[in-house]
Chain A
Amino acid sequence: MLPQLPRVSVLLLLSAALSVLVGCTTLQPAPSNPTAAAATPVEQPSPTAAAQPQQLTVYSGRNENLIGPLVEQFRQETGIEVSVRYGDTAEMAATILEEGKNSPADVFFAQDAGALGALAAKGRLQPLPAEILQQVDARFRDPNGRWVGASGRARVVVYNTDRVTEADLPDSIFGFTDPAWRGRVGWAPTNGSFQAMVTAMRLLHGEDAARAWLQGMIANDVKVYPNNSAIVEAVGKGEVDVGLVNHYYLYRFLAERGESFPARNYFTRAVDAGALTNIAGLGIVDTARNRDAAERFVAYMLSTAAQKYFAEKTYEYPLVAGVAADSRLRPLTELQTPNLDLSRLEDLEGTLRLLQEVGALQ
């Protein structure tokens, strides 16, 4: 007699059956984003769209919670079927590099200029058309035209409002090496934005100044966090009094926890590496099968609708003239960003060596 069908088999058969179901729905190209579909009423693709819908694959290092609704808007307005693969920016860049010639990616949407620079340096991005590039200030795009910034992200100091007032804060992040700040500052040395800032510091102020600052911070018992949001969280709890972060995390905490969340941003007064403005941007991958749709996607991210979205929903700086940033931010035009070509941030080797040398990174 054969043994009675055990429960484990039932469970596994069930999941196999489920998989067939799921396979039918997910293996088809371009599943729409249910989050966004729920957020905005679904419309039929406009009748002007081509009879054969175009396909586009986007690799996104930007989070679905940030750009999912925008992608859905693009799909509805153009009728182009977009599949988005979400992941960490650096891991997505590494994936495109590993995929080689068979990469399914048409567009890479990155969270920082460094990853775009790395792909461009390996010849994996194609030049963008001039009409796209010209919309954005030269500070925020590749001088060789292979990637373009879509939104800006400023380095700021987040501080706990119960323990510090803005008047107590130094003009520049160089002031945090003062013994008065001993054990009161948080940073995230493994974070890409932080490393970009240190790269800028080396380029603007020289290797020795950057080393001296890093050593001074470590000697001053700076607290290490894994990322920006952990720093904002820690500042809100009073675990540290101030933290070195990107500007927009705070506004998400305020939206979620309410205005009573005891932390605010401080834009440093000095024009130095501590006031660097980095970008999130896009490039078209060299193996893109659908260049036309890819260009339309990149152009869409620079459209007024998208730029407004970045300003209002992700609290970033719009980079195309004519769209204002969130009123709580210092306007981009007034932001005293250091004069630095962002494409020079792509080489992080020296920064990593320096961070390792001083013991900020292992």
Chain B
Amino acid sequence: MTTSREVAGPQTVRTIGDDAARSGAERASSVAQLDRPGDLGYARDSLPPTLTALAVGVVLLALLPLAYLLVRAAGASPAAWGLLLQPRVLAIVANSVLLTLAVTTASIALALPLAWLTTVTDLPGRRAWTVLTALPLVIPSYVGAFAVLAVFGPRGALQELLAPLGVERLPEIYGFFGAWFTLTLFTYPYVLLTLRGAWLRLDGSLEDAARILGHGPWSVWWRVTLPHLRPAIAAGGLLVALYTLSDFGAVSLMRFNAFTQAIFVQYRSSFDRSLAALLALVLVAFTLALLWAEQRTRGRARTSRAGSGSPRPVRQVVLGPWRWPALALVAGVVALGVGLPVGVSALWGVRSWATGESLTPLLRPMAHSLTAAGLAALATTAAALPIALLAARYRHPLVTWLERGSYVGNGLPGITIALSLVFFGARYAPFLYQTLPLLIFGYAVRFLPEAVGSSRASLLQVSPRLEEAARGLGLSPWRAWWRVTWPLARPGIAAGAALVFLTVMKELPITLLLGPTGFKTLATEIWSATAEAFYARAAVPALLLVLASSLSIGLLLKEHER
């Protein structure tokens, strides 16, 4: 592929050059101007054998839950198949689709301004807001929903506050609105974090070039910035959609009849794993449909830099008087997404203090949480890289299917993944069953897409020709990747690791079913207390969960900024 073809490409404005930079990358990319055969970009035919083998191995393991579902569904009676086509099943399918679309749209709409404010503007306290706006992701959805209800529910805090003004009833929170509100509030960070990774990697000189060519601010945004951010938005949006699809905690507390409810009824009430498996397969079909839709949005645009020179950070936007409404927006979202659950937990804590509840030492659960989340982030990111690299660089049917395969587990409820690994673990790997490695494996299967999506989006921004040039200068493929691509893509890859870390911190069903016996985490402690209405005992682990996560996310995001 030649540079001239790049320039003629549709979609994006290319840079003309930026002479400010002095780095290895610059030397590398100037060599890239030469028309070399064996270009790494968008090869349609041959895939690199080692990378492909690695990716195939990872995806096969990630498809274990699907294999389990097929085994179980094969045992379903013919009558069960008929049950799938009942009108009420179709009605809850419609419910779930509607909720998924609404939450995804709202999350993107919320994450875009937040990401912009916390990456490219001079918002006061920007670094602190960066951490705080990512934090709602660690709130378990049942805790989040509980907090939302405590404030906005009938007879909640807000109604009590407004009661002197004669407000007897608030608008109904239960149902679609409550589920939509809660899920948006606690999942938008998926988009925010992937988006930040992309924004930080964006080459400011692209926007400058567009301005020089006479485009106004809106035109630059629509024709330059947004197209470059689109893979990240789509990747984050997909994670939001899959989370919404697989969530049970928030929809059940908000009394919204989503599809997961039907699956849980089968597990919990009739112990019918075959019918539950059939229903879960419907979720797999959903997931594939969502992936197909996401892939349609990708189009054929390229988002890596084509020009020479190293990228220049995007110009900082001076907010001026606009910083006040901006602050109000960010503070408002943080107050709802972090302040609300923390406040409710603190209230539980005050009660426990008042009733003399002993505050049990929670160092061990905290160490377990950090360990499990840290190892899961590491393992999942490592497993995701081969898939992300292939997906970013090659157009090939196998690659498309590998990427889709890696997402299958994410649309399933955690309990389904957990039971599938119980099935395979106890039967075929008893020496690994109920050990830390299998637990980490379970997390990796469930959260693989969080790392794949984010890594792929950031790798797309690194021109394959840089790596190619490094190889032209005599580096081996691995060294070229390590010296050139990895440092450039690292912020986005770190964002993916952060996503995995935060979601593992709150994960429950896999931890309960696959962890070593007696392996308690902060999330299982919160569950253990709230499940039997010992709310006071949930306070300390809930607050520690937020605290430990915010410290960790602070570290990860610093990495992100470099």
Kindly list chain B residues whose C-beta atoms are within 8 Å of the C-beta of A215.
Answer: none
Identify which of B155, B255, B264 contacts A237 (C-beta below 8 A).
B155
Kindly list chain A residues whose C-beta atoms are within 8 Å of the C-beta of B364.
Answer: 22, 25, 34
Bound-state CA distance A242–B497 (Å) is 47
Task: Tell me the minimal C-beta distance from B26 to chain A in angstroms.
Answer: 16
Query: Given A16-B375, A27-B436, A63-B531 in contact, is the A102-B426 Cβ separation under 8 Å?
Result: yes
Q: Does residue A54 face the partner (Cβ distance < 8 Å to B)? A: no
Bound-state CA distance A10–B494 (Å) is 13
Residue interface mask A216-231, B partner, CB < 8 A = 1: 0000000011100110
Judge whether B533 and A249 touch: CB under 8 Å. yes
Judge whether A94 and B273 touch: CB under 8 Å. yes
Judge whether B528 and A98 touch: CB under 8 Å. no
Judge whether B368 and A26 touch: CB under 8 Å. yes
Q: Does residue B373 face the partner (Cβ distance < 8 Å to A)? A: yes
Query: Given A91-B267, A362-B88 in contact, is the A11-B556 Cβ separation under 8 Å?
Result: yes
Judge whether A98 and B360 touch: CB under 8 Å. no
Task: Tell me the minimal C-beta distance from A297 to chain B in angstroms.
Answer: 15
Give chain A's interface secondary structure class.
helix
Kindly list chain B residues whose C-beta atoms are within 8 Å of the C-beta of A29.
Answer: 517
Bound-state CA distance A74–B308 (Å) is 72
Which of B53-61, B179-187, B415-423 is near enough to bind chain A?
A: B415-423
Task: Tell me the minimal C-beta distance from A248 to chain B in angstroms.
Answer: 9
Number of interface residues of B (CB under 8 A): 78
Identify which of B512, B537, B555 contacts A65 (C-beta below 8 A).
B537
Interface positions of B from 366 to 390, Cβ below 8 Å from A:
367-368, 370-375, 377-378
- Name the 6 nearest CB pairs between A and B, nearest first: A15-B374, A229-B533, A99-B426, A237-B155, A31-B518, A90-B268
Q: Does residue A95 face the partner (Cβ distance < 8 Å to B)? A: yes
- Enumerate 7 A-B pairs (CB-CB under 8 Å) in ascending A order: A25-B364, A39-B358, A93-B271, A190-B268, A229-B533, A252-B534, A352-B270
Judge whether A356 and B487 touch: CB under 8 Å. no
- Which among A21, A99, A115, A362 has the highest number of chain B CB atoms within 10 Å? A362
Bound-state CA distance A267–B368 (Å) is 44
Judge whether A84 and B374 touch: CB under 8 Å. no
Judge whether B265 and A190 touch: CB under 8 Å. yes
Which of A141-149, A253-261, A301-309, A336-344 is near enough to bind chain B?
A: A253-261
Which of A1-9, A201-209, A318-326 is near enough to bind chain B?
A: A1-9
Kindly list chain A residues whose C-beta atoms are within 8 Å of the C-beta of B433.
Answer: 102, 104
Judge whether A85 and B517 touch: CB under 8 Å. yes
Q: Does residue A180 face the partner (Cβ distance < 8 Å to B)? A: no
A190-B268, A256-B352 given; 11 more Cβ-contact pairs under 8 Å: A6-B559, A7-B556, A38-B360, A85-B434, A93-B271, A94-B419, A102-B427, A190-B265, A257-B351, A352-B265, A352-B269
Q: Does residue A45 face the partner (Cβ distance < 8 Å to B)? A: no
Give chain B's interface secondary structure class.
helix
Bound-state CA distance A34–B362 (Å) is 9
Judge whether A19 and B371 touch: CB under 8 Å. yes
Judge whether B422 and A98 touch: CB under 8 Å. yes
Judge whether B532 and A14 touch: CB under 8 Å. no
Task: Tell me the minimal C-beta distance from B320 to chain A in angstroms.
Answer: 33
Using CB atoms, name the residue of chain A closest to B251. Answer: A226
Identify which of B265, B419, B517, B534 contacts A57 (C-beta below 8 A).
B517
Judge whether A356 and B88 touch: CB under 8 Å. yes
Judge whether B269 and A90 touch: CB under 8 Å. yes
Judge whether A190 and B360 touch: CB under 8 Å. no
Q: Does residue A167 face the partner (Cβ distance < 8 Å to B)? A: no
Judge whether A253 and B533 touch: CB under 8 Å. yes
Q: Does residue B92 face the partner (Cβ distance < 8 Å to A)? A: yes
Kindly list chain B residues whose C-beta atoms are within 8 Å of the C-beta of A18.
Answer: 367, 370-371, 374
Judge whether B360 and A27 touch: CB under 8 Å. no
Using CB atoms, name the residue of chain A closest to B254. Answer: A226
Identify which of A64, A84, A225, A349 contacts B270 (C-beta below 8 A).
A349
Judge whether B556 and A66 touch: CB under 8 Å. no
Kindly list chain A residues whose C-beta atoms are within 8 Å of the C-beta of B427.
Answer: 99-100, 102
Judge whether B533 and A35 touch: CB under 8 Å. no
Judge whether B371 and A195 touch: CB under 8 Å. no
Kindly list chain A residues whose C-beta atoms are within 8 Å of the C-beta of B373.
Answer: 15
Q: Does residue B481 face the partner (Cβ distance < 8 Å to A)? A: no
Interface positions of B from 264 to 317, Cβ below 8 Å from A:
264-265, 267-273
Q: Does residue A127 face the partner (Cβ distance < 8 Å to B)? A: no
Kindly list chain A residues whose C-beta atoms are within 8 Å of the C-beta of B559.
Answer: 6-8
Task: Tell me the minimal C-beta distance from A223 to chain B in angstroms.
Answer: 9
Q: Does residue B529 face the partner (Cβ distance < 8 Å to A)? A: yes
Interface positions of B from 114 to 154, Cβ below 8 Å from A:
153-154
Judge whether B415 and A91 touch: CB under 8 Å. yes
Q: Does residue B261 face the partner (Cβ distance < 8 Å to A)? A: yes
What residues make up the interface of B, taking CB atoms closer than 8 Å to A? 88, 91-92, 153-156, 252-253, 255, 257, 261-262, 264-265, 267-273, 351-352, 355, 357-358, 360-361, 364, 367-368, 370-375, 377-378, 415, 419, 422-423, 426-427, 430, 433-436, 487, 490, 494, 497, 509, 512-513, 516-519, 524, 528-529, 531-537, 552, 555-556, 558-559, 562
Judge whether A27 and B556 touch: CB under 8 Å. no
What residues make up the interface of A, taking CB atoms closer than 8 Å to B? 3, 6-8, 10-12, 14-16, 18-19, 21-23, 25-27, 29-31, 33-35, 38-39, 57, 63-66, 83-88, 90-91, 93-95, 97-100, 102-104, 114-115, 118, 190, 192, 195, 224-226, 229-230, 232-233, 237-239, 249, 252-253, 255-258, 348-349, 351-352, 356, 359, 361-362
Judge whether B267 and A90 touch: CB under 8 Å. yes
Task: Tell me the minimal C-beta distance from A179 to chain B in angstroms.
Answer: 21
Bound-state CA distance A3–B559 (Å) is 13
Kindly list chain B residues whose C-beta atoms are within 8 Å of the C-beta of A226.
Answer: 252-253, 255
Judge whether B262 and A362 touch: CB under 8 Å. yes
Kindly list chain A residues whose C-beta atoms are within 8 Å of the C-beta of B490.
Answer: 6
Kindly list chain A residues whose C-beta atoms are within 8 Å of the C-beta of B423.
Answer: 98-99
Q: How many cross-chain pairs have Cβ atoms below 8 Å apart between A and B?
A: 203
Judge whether B267 and A12 touch: CB under 8 Å. no
Bound-state CA distance A151–B367 (Å) is 35
Using CB atoms, name the residue of chain B closest to A85. Answer: B517
Bound-state CA distance A283–B524 (Å) is 25
Using CB atoms, name the residue of chain A closest to B368. Answer: A22
Kindly list chain B residues whose C-beta atoms are within 8 Å of the C-beta of A57.
Answer: 517
Task: Tell me the minimal C-beta distance from B179 to chain A in angstroms.
Answer: 12
Judge whether B555 and A192 touch: CB under 8 Å. no
Kindly list chain B residues whose C-beta atoms are within 8 Å of the C-beta of A257.
Answer: 351
Kindly list chain B residues whose C-beta atoms are within 8 Å of the C-beta of A258.
Answer: 355
Task: Tell me the minimal C-beta distance from B37 to chain A in angstroms.
Answer: 30
Using CB atoms, name the residue of chain B closest to A226. Answer: B252
Kindly list chain A residues whose C-beta atoms are within 8 Å of the C-beta of B524.
Answer: 86
Identify which of A104, A229, A349 contacts B532 (C-beta below 8 A).
A229
Using CB atoms, name the residue of chain B closest to A229. Answer: B533
Kindly list chain A residues whose C-beta atoms are within 8 Å of the C-beta of B555.
Answer: 7-8, 10-11
Judge whether A239 and B155 touch: CB under 8 Å. yes
Kindly list chain A residues whose C-beta atoms are within 8 Å of the C-beta of B375.
Answer: 12, 15-16, 19
Query: Given A11-B374, A84-B517 in contact, is the A98-B534 Cβ separation under 8 Å?
Result: no
Bound-state CA distance A357–B89 (Å) is 12
Task: Tell me the minimal C-beta distance from B300 to chain A in angstroms.
Answer: 33
Bound-state CA distance A166–B450 (Å) is 54
- Which among B155, B361, B562 has the highest number of chain A CB atoms within 10 Å? B155
Judge whether A190 and B273 touch: CB under 8 Å. no
Bound-state CA distance A229–B512 (Å) is 21
Identify which of A84, A87, A195, A232 contacts B518 (C-beta below 8 A).
A84
Judge whether B269 and A27 touch: CB under 8 Å. no
Task: Tell me the minimal C-beta distance from A357 to chain B in angstroms.
Answer: 9
Judge whether B535 and A256 touch: CB under 8 Å. yes
Identify which of B264, B368, B513 contacts A87 (C-beta below 8 A).
B513
Kindly list chain A residues whose C-beta atoms are within 8 Å of the C-beta of B512.
Answer: 85-88, 91
Judge whether A98 and B532 touch: CB under 8 Å. no
Kindly list chain A residues whose C-beta atoms are within 8 Å of the C-beta of B536.
Answer: 256
Kindly list chain B residues whose C-beta atoms are within 8 Å of the C-beta of A85.
Answer: 434, 512, 517-518
Judge whether B519 and A26 touch: CB under 8 Å. yes
Kindly list chain A residues whose C-beta atoms are within 8 Å of the C-beta of B436.
Answer: 19, 22-23, 26-27
Bound-state CA distance A190–B377 (Å) is 35
